[in-house]
Structure 1
Amino acid sequence: MPLGLIALALGGFGIGLTEFVIMGLLPEVAADFQVSEATAGWLISGYALAVVVGALVLTAAVTRLERKPVLAALMVIFIIGNLVSAVAPDYGLMMIGRIIAALAHGAFFGIGAVVAASLVLPDKKAGAIAIMFTGLTAANVLGVPLGTMLGQAAGWRSTFVAITIIGVLALAGILILVPRAAADAGAASPTSLRGELRAFRSGQVWLSILVTILGYGGVFGAFTYIAFTLTEVSGFAASAVPWLLVLFGGGLFLGNTVGGRAADKDVDRTLVRVLAVLVAVLVTFGLTAGNQPMAVVSLVLLGGFGFATVPGLQMRVMKYASDAPTLASGANIGAFNLGNALGSWLGGVTITAGFGYTSPIWAGAAITVLGLAVVVSAARQANKNGAASGGNAASRRELDLQPV
């Protein structure tokens, strides 16, 4: 395994920790800044929106630059954002720190996925992307529980100091371990921003992004309110929730690894099968959430099959934008966060409407069914036009949308 993938995974670990650990520290942050928990919650929402902006705008701004220096610069931005959060004297500056860190998030994963794929042989690309995203899964499995415990024991600021240190280590790893030549293999020319934008004329690129929004939205529709489901429906004590989430994170880790290997063999077939099983898992979870053993099994399977889609979703959009994948890759990272926001919003709507704490699971199942329908349609269209193995050139020739 190329050592550069380890550096990328470490960067992904730090970014994942920044995104998710705040959920466990909101009470402490709210109390310190003397704001309501709802107001403190904007530190999560504001981060997600900034990720989308960074994934599009910042990635577009750096497409003409060499990828390794860009990754290093993004990690510097990430370090600055978390350092600002760690020392913020008030809520406003804390929000600024969160936004700064989030701007690096989408561009780092978008460009990092392209670099990870360039470090390995063609038939190992999805697996390499999965290794980079292993950092994100590790952040959920280990980082969030440990970061929350650290923040509760030594103050929430100590967690952001630790994340800043992780960022410094990731920066050093990128500078030392990621080979410049491989990182820039097939890189766009200095005049290729128009070429990057041209990738969005491909119907398959847009379908891939839509599948990402719906497939990932279904997972987070169920997961956002999972603590309420586990305590109010399954009957677990609140103290058991962190350990149950560790099991969920274990499913994430396994699913990400297996999903990456499967996607290397056949992206569309993997996505269709995994999304179909994910629908079944969500339906089973919704029906059996009141049974504790079944709830645990469903939770692990939700993490496994939910994250088994991630390497394939990222690989698919890069496949159909293969001549200019950087901006499309970044846009797909933004799509993951749009899916997160969609699922969380719809789950909240169902609870507010009085449908109970299993309703977000059913909402997630409905969104995932839509994602499954889209990927089945996209795969059939690709096969019909002979583009399934032809990459972006065939995609542009036979599947391009007509310019407005």
Structure 2
Amino acid sequence: MQKIFYMKSKRTLYILALGIFGIGTTEFGVIGILPQLAHAFNVSIEKAGWLLSGFALAVAISGPFMMMLLSSFKRKGLMAFVLGIFALSNLLSIIAPNFGFLLAARILPAFFHPVYWAVALSSAANIVSEKEAPKAVSIVFGGFTIASILGIPIATLMADVFNWQSSFILYAAINIISFVGILLFLPDIPMPDKKKRNSNLSIFKSKILWINLFVACFIVAAMYATYGYMADYLGKVNKMNGKEISVLLFIFGVTGIFGNQLAGKFLSKNIYTTTLLFILSLVLVHILLYNLGTQFISIAVMMGVWGLVHSGGFLISNINVTSSAPESREFINSVFTSCGNIAVTLGTGIGGFWITHFGIHQIVWSSILCLLISFLILILKKVQMVKSQRI
């Protein structure tokens, strides 16, 4: 009986991950086709970048509010609805007559993005024991990792071989498949207790929650400060050509799958220690990256190590934040989604500032600075935890 329950739980986790895969591909897949879109709509690459940053900004703003607004709807139907909106958005993008229409079509699903993430991640944690929750959440997060490895490069390839519209056809197809998968195979998800839903805002009184949000924000910002400009760094600093960069990005992504799983296992044992080790490991990775030369083999090994460490950052940040309010998993996951998107915007902004003022080679120090800030906040968290235990 226990084995049957385990198998059903695993199937549910993979269905939820499929939806995350569709959403992640839609959000970040546009990165690979920005030049084609800028050319097609006769706009600058900076303006085309709003297709990504505008999406992230909408997610950051809408997160907790959309979850509160839609909290009374059945969870299975709600997730299917969100995936349907994503599919519709991509279909509208295909027929966009101008850039303004395309931007509006892109931003439309962003407002619903936090709802799926919040419900999917909280459901993953709720169907297993408290101890196994990080592993379960890591499986769902795996959908996002795979979107980075497969969804984005394939969409970019399709745009090169056919046209930019074919990329949006792919995004729409993935979301439609996810939509059908949710409807046919996902079991009904119990509604959270109404009293808990009504007391969501009270969680903001927790000092530990705010500390964890700042830790998460600076960790994710550190990740994206350098990662957001990875291709440019590899080309200008390490002198890699286009084909070599593609291979290196693939290596980074593949090791990332294992890194995500590894982070889940470590988190199941000790959240604080895992977070501390992650910060120190990522600092070391960036220092080694700074001192790399132009040899492809050494860079490939380094990219593999970087991907292994880097990929666990989102999961580690999520578990830190959600562990602050386990009684309000859905709401706190929507808060984390907003925090994560703000952090991505902050990190890429810091990275861009660093490149402008210090040069592309020095960008790793912007990540290290953010990591040191997160380390100091983590120490503050430990002090706060000790005080709470004494009381």
Q: How does 1:193-342 map onto structure 2 within 5 Å?
A: 193-288=197-292, 290=294, 292-342=296-346
Q: Is the 8 A contact 1:15 1:105 kept in 2?
A: yes
- 1:83 counterpart = 2:86: no
Q: Which amino acid aligns with 1:358?
A: H
Q: Is the 8 A contact 1:259 1:312 kept in 2?
A: yes
Normalised by the length of structure 2, the TM-score is: 0.93
Counterpart of 2:4?
A: none
For structure 1, which segment, 54-63 or 251-260, has the greater mean C-alpha deviation from structure 2 after superposition?
54-63
Counterpart of 1:103?
A: 111
Counterpart of 2:29?
A: 21
Q: Is the 8 A contact 2:223 2:313 kept in 1?
A: no
- 1:59 counterpart = 2:62: no
Q: Is the 8 A contact 2:38 2:48 kept in 1?
A: yes
Counterpart of 1:362?
A: 365
Instruction: Report how far residue 118 of structure 1 moved.
Output: 1.6
Counterpart of 1:402?
A: none
Counterpart of 2:380?
A: 377
Counterpart of 1:184?
A: 190
| SS in structure 1 at match of 2:291 | helix
Counterpart of 2:149?
A: 141
Q: Is the 8 A contact 2:196 2:327 kept in 1?
A: no
| SS in structure 1 at match of 2:326 | coil
| SS in structure 1 at match of 2:131 | helix
1:224-273 deviation per Cα after TM superposition (whole angstroms, max 9, x unaligned): 11111111110111232122111111122111111011111111111111
| SS in structure 2 at match of 1:295 | helix
Determine the C-alpha separation between the residues in 2 that align with 1:368 and 1:296: 24
Change (3 A) 1:188 1:83: farther
Q: Which amino acid aligns with 2:322?
A: M
Q: Is the 8 A contact 1:216 1:306 kept in 2?
A: no
| SS in structure 1 at match of 2:21 | helix
Q: Which amino acid aligns with 1:320?
A: S
Determine the C-alpha separation between the residues in 1 that align with 2:297 and 2:369: 24
Count of aligned pairs: 383
Q: Is the 8 A contact 2:135 2:264 kept in 1?
A: yes
Instruction: Report how far residue 16 of structure 1 moved.
Output: 1.3
Instruction: Report how far residue 379 of structure 1 moved.
Output: 3.3
For structure 1, which segment, 133-142 or 67-76, has the greater mean C-alpha deviation from structure 2 after superposition?
67-76
Change (3 A) 1:383 1:169: farther
Determine the C-alpha separation between the residues in 2 that align with 1:383 and 1:309: 25
Determine the C-alpha separation between the residues in 1 that align with 2:363 and 2:64: 29
Change (3 A) 1:101 1:236: same
| SS in structure 1 at match of 2:325 | coil
Determine the C-alpha separation between the residues in 1 that align with 2:78 and 2:383: 37
Determine the C-alpha separation between the residues in 2 that align with 1:335 and 1:323: 19
Q: Which amino acid aligns with 1:91?
A: F
Change (3 A) 1:19 1:289: farther
Instruction: Report how far residue 292 of structure 1 moved.
Output: 4.1
Instruction: Report how far residue 330 of structure 1 moved.
Output: 0.8
- 1:166 counterpart = 2:177: no
Instruction: Report how far residue 60 of structure 1 moved.
Output: 2.0
Q: Which amino acid aligns with 1:279?
A: V
- 1:38 counterpart = 2:46: yes
For structure 1, which segment, 46-55 or 308-317, has the greater mean C-alpha deviation from structure 2 after superposition?
308-317
Q: Which amino acid aligns with 1:266?
A: N
Change (3 A) 1:248 1:197: same
Instruction: Report how far residue 25 of structure 1 moved.
Output: 0.5
Q: Which amino acid aligns with 1:368?
A: L
Q: Is the 8 A contact 1:277 1:305 kept in 2?
A: yes
Q: Which amino acid aligns with 2:44?
A: S
Q: Is the 8 A contact 1:80 1:100 kept in 2?
A: no
Percent identity, aligned pairs only, is 27
Determine the C-alpha separation between the residues in 2 that align with 1:222 and 1:291: 20
